Amino acid sequence: MSILKNKLFRILAIAFAILILAWVWVFIEEKQEFLEIDFYDVGQGDAIFIETPKGKQILVDGGPDLTILEKLGRELPFWDRYIDLVILTHPEHDHIGGLIEVIKRYKVGGILTTGVVRDTAEYRKWQRIIEQENIPIYIAQAGKVIDLGSNIKLVILHPFENLSGQEIKKANNTSIVAQLVYGDFEVLLTGDIEKKVEKALVNSANPPAGGLESDILKIPHHGSKTSSTKNFIQAVNPIIAIIQAGKDNPYGHPHQSVLDTLSDITTFITGRDGDVEILSDGVRFQVR
């Protein structure tokens, strides 16, 4: 009798476990129906996390410090220690600082960078970890297209040339600019580019398929007055603008003149509004 009871109990336990697994599976499937883009509030710096409907994960910049680890810890389930692609737009502290910790603690499928080098302790640490972990490096240059599956691609618009190995102290204008395209939905990521590169992009001899026009624009250089010319904002013509700038940062980002330029566009500031999450099915999008 007790053997029979035992068996019954085991069968029930297994059935219950299968049911739980099925629920988890449905939950994961449902969550990944959309392309997700998170603009994190990481203080004064940029950090953008992208997850495709098939679960490909991309991190663009990592902010200045360990805050990004908290954000990823909340975003990813505890068993997920793998990020498909890490993108460093340019090697400045407010972009690379947190990324160093990410590539140390997570397994990373590859790094997309301009290859611009810096003679700083921080940059050497970055390089040391890449060598130790043997992470593949891909050099970003305009014209390259990265296929993320699920009909999603990342179109590289800048830098126009291969900058690999060059030491450039003021690296803002070397930033990777990339357009994330999912059907009719586009997001333009701009790093810290300034007016000079904005102008060059507007006048580009090889514009992307739909021009610069994008639903979502990550405002360049934390809303600094060095960037966001009227011409550039008009060319992108975004529905939503996102400024990644820390609360009470010492640089006065975002500048009032930029906010004036954006006065007709719904604008979020991470330091004021917190994390901004955007979901899209390739036609419509939703902000959370």
> If binding means CB under 5 A, how many residues of this protein chain bind Zn ion?
2
Nearby residues of 150 by Cβ (< 8 Å), 6 or more positions away: 35, 52, 53, 54, 56, 182
Which of 94, 101, 198, 215 forms a contact with Zn ion (CB under 5 A)?
Answer: 94
Pairing of strands 35-39, 48-51: antiparallel
Q: Which of 109-117, 150-158, 185-193, 212-220 is the region at the interface with Zn ion (rule: CB under 5 A)?
A: 185-193
Nearer to Zn ion, 186 or 192 (CB): 192
Q: Which of 68-76, 189-197, 251-259, 267-275 is the region at the interface with Zn ion (rule: CB under 5 A)?
A: 189-197
In the complex, the smallest distance separating the C-beta of residue 222 from Zn ion, rounded to whole angstroms, is 6
Q: Which residues ranging from 12 to 51 are in contact with Zn ion (CB under 5 A)?
A: none
Q: Residues 272, 37, 194, 111: is their CA dihedral positive or negative?
A: positive
Classified as helix, coil or strand, 57 is: strand
In the complex, the smallest distance separating the C-beta of residue 226 from Zn ion, rounded to whole angstroms, is 11
CA–CA distance, 106 with 28 (Å, rounded to integer): 21
Compute φ and ψ for 237, nearest 5 degrees.
50, 55
Nearer to Zn ion, 89 or 229 (CB): 89
Nearer to Zn ion, 51 or 192 (CB): 192
194 interacts with Zn ion by CB under 5 A: no
End-to-end CA distance of the chain: 56
In the complex, the smallest distance separating the C-beta of residue 255 from Zn ion, rounded to whole angstroms, is 14
Which of 84, 192, 194, 215 forms a contact with Zn ion (CB under 5 A)?
Answer: 192
Q: Which of 51-59, 79-87, 88-96, 232-240 is the region at the interface with Zn ion (rule: CB under 5 A)?
A: 88-96
CA–CA distance, 150 with 56 (Å, rounded to integer): 9
Task: List Cα–Cα distances, 33 to 99, 143, 180, 257, 270, in angstroms.
Answer: 27, 29, 17, 38, 25
Q: Which of 148-156, 192-200, 249-257, 277-285 is the region at the interface with Zn ion (rule: CB under 5 A)?
A: 192-200
Instruction: Give the count of beta carbons closer than 10 Å to the beta carbon of residue 191.
Output: 28
Tallying the residues shown for the chain, one arrives at 288
In the complex, the smallest distance separating the C-beta of residue 228 from Zn ion, rounded to whole angstroms, is 14
* CB distance 45 to 97 below 8 Å: yes
Q: Which of 52-60, 90-98, 137-145, 208-216 is the region at the interface with Zn ion (rule: CB under 5 A)?
A: 90-98
In the complex, the smallest distance separating the C-beta of residue 62 from Zn ion, rounded to whole angstroms, is 11
Name the burial class of residue 201, with classes exposed (0-12), middle (13-18) and buried (19+) by CB atoms within 10 angstroms of its CB: buried
Residues contributing to the site for Zn ion (CB under 5 A): 94, 192
